[in-house]
Amino acid sequence: MDQDQGRLYLGSREYLVALDMHNVNKEPLIIHWPASDKRRGECRMTGKGGQGECANFVRMIEPWNRTHLYTCGTGAYQPICTFINRGWKAEDYVFRLVPGFTESGKGKCSYDPSQENIAALINGNLYAGVHVDFMGTDAALFRTMGGRTAVRTEQYDSKWLNEPVFIQIQQIPDSAERNDDKLYFFFREKSLDAGGGSSPSVLARVGRVCLNDEGGQKSLVNRWTTFLKARLVCSVIGEDGVETLFDELRDVFIQPTQDERNPVVYALFTTAGSVFKGSAVCVYSMADIRNCPGGTFTPGIRTSKDFSDEAVNFMRAHPLMYHPVYPIHRRPLVVRTGVDYRFTALVVDQVDAVDARYEVLFLGTDRGTVQKVIVLPKDPSTMEELTLEEVEVFRQQLYVSSEAGLTQVSLHRCGVYGRACSDCCLARDPYCAWDGESCSAFTPATKRRSRRQDVKHGDPLRQCRGFNAKVENRPREIVQFGVEGSSTFLECQPRSPQATVKWLYQREGRRKALNRDRDLLKTPHGILLKSLSQSDAGLYHCLATENNFKHTVARVSLRILDRDIVLALTSPDNDPMTSNSPPTGWGGQRDPQQQRVPPTPPLTDTLSQPEIRLIHQYCQSYWEQLGLKQQQPKRTSRRHTESQEQEQEEQQPKRTSRRHTESQEQEQEEQQPKRTSRRHTESQETQGGSRTGLPALASQDTPMVD
In this prediction the pTM is 0.62
Q: pLDDT value at position 304?
A: 60
What's the whole-number average pLDDT of the chain?
A: 76
pLDDT at 25 over 60: yes
Q: What is the mean pLDDT of residues 510-537?
A: 82
The angle, 0 to 180 degrees and rounded to 10, between the axes of the packed helices 563-570 and 609-651 is 90
Domain presence at residue 17: no
3-state secondary structure of 318: coil
Q: How far apart are CA 187 and CA 229, in angstroms?
A: 10
Q: Does residue 128 fall inside a structural domain? A: no
Model confidence at 49: pLDDT above 60 = yes
Task: Determine which of 64-68, 278-282, 310-314, 378-382 has the lowest per-residue pLDDT on average.
Answer: 378-382
Per-residue model confidence (pLDDT) at position 457: 74
**Domain contains 606:** no
Residue-wise burial string across 515-525, b where 16 or more C-beta atoms lie within 10 A, e elsewhere: eeeeebeeeee
Is 682 or 432 the better-scoring residue by pLDDT? 432
Q: Phi/psi of residue 405, each to 5°?
A: 155, -160
Mean pLDDT of 582-605: 45
Q: With pLDDT > 70 as the criterion, what percentage of the chain qualifies?
A: 70
Per-residue pLDDT of 55-98, as tens digits, reads 999 999 999 998 999 999 999 999 999 999 998 887 778 999 99
Per-residue pLDDT band for 679 (boundaries 50, 70, 90) equals very low
Looking at the domain assignment, is residue 604 inside a domain? no
> Model confidence over 353-402: pLDDT tens digits?
877 788 889 898 888 888 888 888 766 555 666 666 565 444 456 777 76
Q: Which residue has the higher pLDDT, 511 or 183?
A: 183
pLDDT value at residue 448: 54
- Can you tell me the distance from the alpha carbon of 287 to that of 265, in angstroms, rounded to the nearest whole number? 10
SS (H, E, C) 577-644: HHCCCCCECHHHCECCCCCCCCCCCCHHHHCCHHHHHHHHHHHHHHHHHHHHHHHHHHHHHHHHHHHH
Which pLDDT belongs to residue 615? 64
Rounded Cα–Cα distance for residues 416 and 439 (Å): 9
Mean per-residue pLDDT, 211-238: 88
Other Cβ atoms less than 10 A from the Cβ of 546: the count is 21
Per-residue pLDDT of 629-676, as tens digits, reads 555 544 444 444 454 555 545 444 444 444 444 445 445 444 444 444
Domain range enclosing 488 = 477-565
State residue 474's pLDDT score. Answer: 64
Count of domains for the chain: 1
Query: Which contacts qualify for 679-683: CB closer than 8 Å, 24 or more apart?
Result: 679/704, 679/705
Q: Is pLDDT at 576 greater than 80 in this prediction?
A: no
658-671 and 674-689 helices, crossing angle to 10°: 160
In this predicted structure, the answer to whether residue 135 has a pLDDT above a threshold of 70 is yes
Q: Tell me what the mean pLDDT of segment 303-307 comes to.
A: 62
Sign of CA pseudo-dihedral 200, 201, 202, 208 = positive
Assign 228 a pLDDT band (cuts: 50, 70, 90): very high
Considering the domain boundaries, does residue 535 fall inside one? yes
512 in a domain, yes or no? yes
Would 144 be classed as within a structural domain? no
The pLDDT of residue 267: 96
The CATH number given to whatever domain includes residue 509 is 2.60.40.10
Sheet-wide strand order for 165-172: 165-172, 182-190, 202-210, 228-231
Q: pLDDT class for 698, splitting at 50, 70, 90?
A: very low
Please tell me the distance from the alpha carbon of residue 16 to that of residue 72, in angstroms, as a whole number: 11
Question: Is residue 518 situated within a structural domain?
Answer: yes
